[in-house]
Structure 1
Amino acid sequence: MLKIGLYFGTFNPIHIGHLIIANHMAEYSNLDQIWMVVTPHNPHKQKSTLLDDYHRLHMVHLATEDYPKIKPSDIEFKLPQPNYTVNTLFHLQEKYPEYEFSLIMGEDNLNSLHKWKNYEVILQNHDIYVYPRLHSGEMDPQFSDNPKIHRVGAPIIELSSTFIRESIKNKKNVTPLLPHKVWQYVEHNLFYKK
Structure 2
Amino acid sequence: MKVGIMGGTFDPIHIGHMIAAQCAYEQAGLSEVWFMPTNVPPHKQQATMASSGQRWEMVCRAVEGQPHFRPFDFELKKGGISYTFDTISLLLKEYPGIHFYYIIGADMVQFLPKWYKIGELAKLISFIGLQRPGYTPGMEQLPESLRDAVELATMPLIELSSTSIRQRKSEGRTIRHLVPDRVHEYIEESGCYGP
* 3-state secondary structure, aligned to 2:71: strand
* Higher mean C-alpha displacement, 60-69 vs 48-57: 48-57
1:55 aligns with 2:65: no
* Aligned twin of 2:104: 105
Distance 1:92 1:175 in 2: 35
Aligned length: 193
Matched with 1:78 is: 77
Secondary structure of residue in 2 paired with 1:48: coil
- Could you tell me how far apart the structure 1 residues matched to 2:106 and 2:143 are? 11
Superimposed CA distance per residue, residues 85-139 of structure 1 (whole angstroms, 9 cap, x where no aligned partner)? 0000000000111111111100111111111110111112211111014686761
Deviation at 1:41, TM superposition (A): 1.1
Name the structure 2 match of 1:177. 178
In structure 2, what is the Cα distance between the partners aligned to 1:54 and 1:135?
Answer: 37
1:31 deviates by 1.2
Q: Is the 8 A contact 1:130 1:150 kept in 2?
A: yes
Counterpart secondary structure, 2:47: helix
CA distance in 1, matches of 2:64, 2:116: 33
Identify the range of structure 1 (23-32 vs 51-60) with the bigger mean alpha-carbon deviation. Answer: 23-32
Residue 149 (structure 1) aligns with:
150
Structure 1 residue 19 corresponds to structure 2 residue 34: no
Structure 2 vs 1, CA of residues 31 and 138 (structure 1 numbering), >3 Å: closer, same or farther? closer
Q: List alignment gaps of at least 5 residues for structure 1.
A: none
Report the TM-score when normalising by structure 1: 0.92
* Contact kept? 1:111, 1:136, Cα under 8 Å: no
Q: Tell me, yes or no, if the aligned pair for 1:26 and 1:70 is still in contact at 8 Å.
A: no
2:35 equivalent in structure 1: 36
How many percent of aligned residue pairs carry the same amino acid? 32
In structure 2, the CA distance between the partners of 1:10 and 1:136, relative to structure 1 (3 Å rule), is: farther
Structure 2 segments unaligned to the other structure (5+ residues) = none
Amino acid aligned to 2:189: H
Residue 4 of structure 1 aligns to a residue whose secondary structure is strand
